Amino acid sequence: MDREIERDWENDVNQKTEESRMIYNKMAFEYDTSREGRYTRFHIEELLNTINLNEGDVVLDIACGNGTLLGELSKKAKIRANGIDISENMIHAAIMRYPHINFKVKPCCPLEWSDESIDIITICCAFHHFDNPQRFVNECRRVLKKSGTVYVADPNFGAVIRFFANQFWFPFSKSGDVKVYGRKELEAIFYNGGFRIVQVYEKEKGLFLKARK
């Protein structure tokens, strides 16, 4: 491999973040054929049908995994594509598959990009791993251009399952999962982050959001 992959953030990462890193490092090279990879594919397909791209857009895929979403978006328009993930092995796999895309091992927050430098941010099946979602959303707003947009795809659980998962499963599991959200909760986080237009909808096993700055 031509490009060195390094972790370049502090050692005192959040426990859930470290759990996520370890889990995805283990499954990275078989991710597409894994149960989670097949589940995520549905969310990727919906995002591909939803995201509006313009030539030259700067796109940042956060928790990009093995790069599938960015790779497919790059086929739709000539974009400046960037992907970050905490898993070194996922980034390794992404670079091997899409060497023309800029991939780095980075945490989701804080973001290294300067103010108003990104056109589109995507987060696919990762928002429920973030330990401080409001801080993350605030960072998204900071780096987005004035007309920038965030697209989120996350699992869609019913209210009862969501309650038991959040209260009794995630706090004690080693899955790296922090919290799954309902429509109103997800919408509120982005409105509280200063986004002026927020649209959230459910489709089968997915919860999808589009937020304009």
Between 2 and 154, the higher pLDDT residue: 154
Q: How far is CA 129 from the centre of its chain?
A: 9
Q: Cα angle vertex 136, ends 111, 127, to 5°?
A: 115
Domain boundaries, the chain: 15-212
pLDDT digits (tens, 9 = 90+) for 165-206: 999 999 999 999 999 999 999 999 999 999 999 999 999 999
Class of domain 15-212: alpha beta
Q: How far is CA 6 from the centre of its chain?
A: 20
Three-state SS for 68?
Answer: helix
Label residue 13 by pLDDT band (50, 70, 90). low
pLDDT digits (tens, 9 = 90+) for 95-135: 999 999 999 999 999 999 999 999 999 999 999 999 999 99
Residue that has been written with the tokens 């700055």 in this structure: 213
Label residue 87 by pLDDT band (50, 70, 90). very high
pTM of the entire structure? 0.92
Overall average pLDDT of the 5-31 stretch: 77
In the chain, alpha helices (H)? 15-27, 35-50, 68-76, 88-97, 133-143, 159-164, 183-192
pLDDT digits (tens, 9 = 90+) for 42-75: 999 999 999 999 999 999 999 999 999 999 999 9
pLDDT at 16: 86
